Chain A
């Protein structure tokens, strides 16, 4: 009886480890994408990279941020008038991607985040883009600058 119990438990133990580890080959990921450049092509490329990244890992397994500062703010400016970029951002947000913008940049470029940029909430504004990146990296986020 004891032996049977042990065998059953061993089987469950094995399945427990296996079952969890095969779900999503990459496991959970925390990633921050850094956009501080203003070239449109490169920004659209970054959005594409992020979507491909989600496709590979699964939105439910990811905590994904985009930190924009310096020339990177133009991504959200373009999104106001460009339906293609706007659509991509809406779609990424639906998959849980957080877009964060630097307060220093808003001040420096004299931007009104409600009118000049696409869909920015007060909670999306971080005091310093660079400090936010450093903070996220220290929390275990992988840093990618496409």
Chain B
């Protein structure tokens, strides 16, 4: 695989997350070894993210532009009673809106281009169908306790089954860092077979490992981490949690 030239279709499918988990794992390996393919993936991702940004921005704008608009309206026609009347109405409604909807206003800056665009080059996972009917959930696991992991897998399974039953399109990403990485380590995972069968059962489920944790285990304990096939590796779990929340994913810690 890594010796072959990688086709545009394959890269496109990879970026759009249309590969099976085995293919995905292969793709990561291949792209890792092929700087030219890596560049193509990054470029395609940038285009995809810009497109998403373009769709994402408009609804936010009215909130940001409300204030300056009123200022000019007010100072320009100060003598006209009608204008002042309009300003009064707008002002009061603005006041109410600011008050009742403060969370919305506060979240607006997150959607500016700078922060969202910043992650494009190192976002190693590939998801995003930002249609309104889609549910996206990021579940973080950072405990290595066997009973805790088992309970968490039960939860993941039951929410996936629930969405399946009601016909809700959903994506679930289980992100492991710290001790939670245990779940995805081929040699010591208490539930390796279960992870594999869950991967087979749900194509909308991805298991993700944190590169920082992998590096730390290597540096501190000399461990070369081996992951269950199909696991996706991302740069940093914390960064991924922030990115996903900015993209509108629900974040849940188990």
Contact surface of A with B, Cβ cutoff 8 Å: 2-3, 5-6, 9-10, 12-14, 16-21, 23-24, 26-30, 34, 36, 69-71, 104, 108, 127-131, 133-135, 137-138, 140, 142-143, 145
| Nearest opposing residue in chain A for B135, CB measure | A134
A27 x B99 contact (CB < 8 A): yes
Chain B positions 74 through 86: 1 when the CB is less than 8 Å from some CB of chain A, otherwise 0 = 1000111100110
Q: Cα distance A93–B46 when bound, in Å?
A: 48
Other-chain contact of B95, A21, A36, A70 (Cβ < 8 Å): A21
Partner-binding segment picked from B22-30, B150-158, B176-184 = B150-158
A20 x B250 contact (CB < 8 A): no
A6 x B95 contact (CB < 8 A): no
Please name the 10 residue pairs, one residue from A and one from B, whose CB atoms are nearest each other, closest first: A20-B95, A27-B102, A134-B250, A9-B84, A137-B250, A130-B159, A16-B92, A128-B162, A13-B91, A17-B95
Q: Are A5 and B81 also in contact (CB < 8 A) when A16-B95, A131-B163, A137-B251 are?
A: yes
Q: Are A20 and B88 also in contact (CB < 8 A) when A134-B137, A138-B135 are?
A: no
A17 x B79 contact (CB < 8 A): no
Chain A neighbourhood of B96, CB < 8 A: 20
| Nearest opposing residue in chain A for B84, CB measure | A9
Other-chain contact of A34, B87, B135, B252 (Cβ < 8 Å): B252
B104 x A140 contact (CB < 8 A): yes
Contact surface of B with A, Cβ cutoff 8 Å: 74, 78-81, 84-85, 87-88, 91-92, 94-96, 98-104, 135, 137, 139, 151, 154-156, 158-159, 162-163, 248, 250-254
Other-chain contact of A17, B78, B94, B250, B251 (Cβ < 8 Å): B94
New A-B contacts (8) at CB < 8 Å, excluding given A6-B81, A9-B88, A20-B92: A16-B88, A19-B95, A27-B100, A28-B100, A130-B139, A131-B162, A134-B159, A142-B103
Q: Cα distance A30–B99 when bound, in Å?
A: 13
CB distance from B77 to the nearest CB of A (A): 9
B158 x A10 contact (CB < 8 A): no
CB distance from B153 to the nearest CB of A (A): 11
Chain A neighbourhood of B163, CB < 8 A: 131
| Nearest opposing residue in chain B for A70, CB measure | B151
A13 x B88 contact (CB < 8 A): yes
Q: Cα distance A128–B81 when bound, in Å?
A: 56
Q: Cα distance A116–B151 when bound, in Å?
A: 21
B159 x A131 contact (CB < 8 A): yes
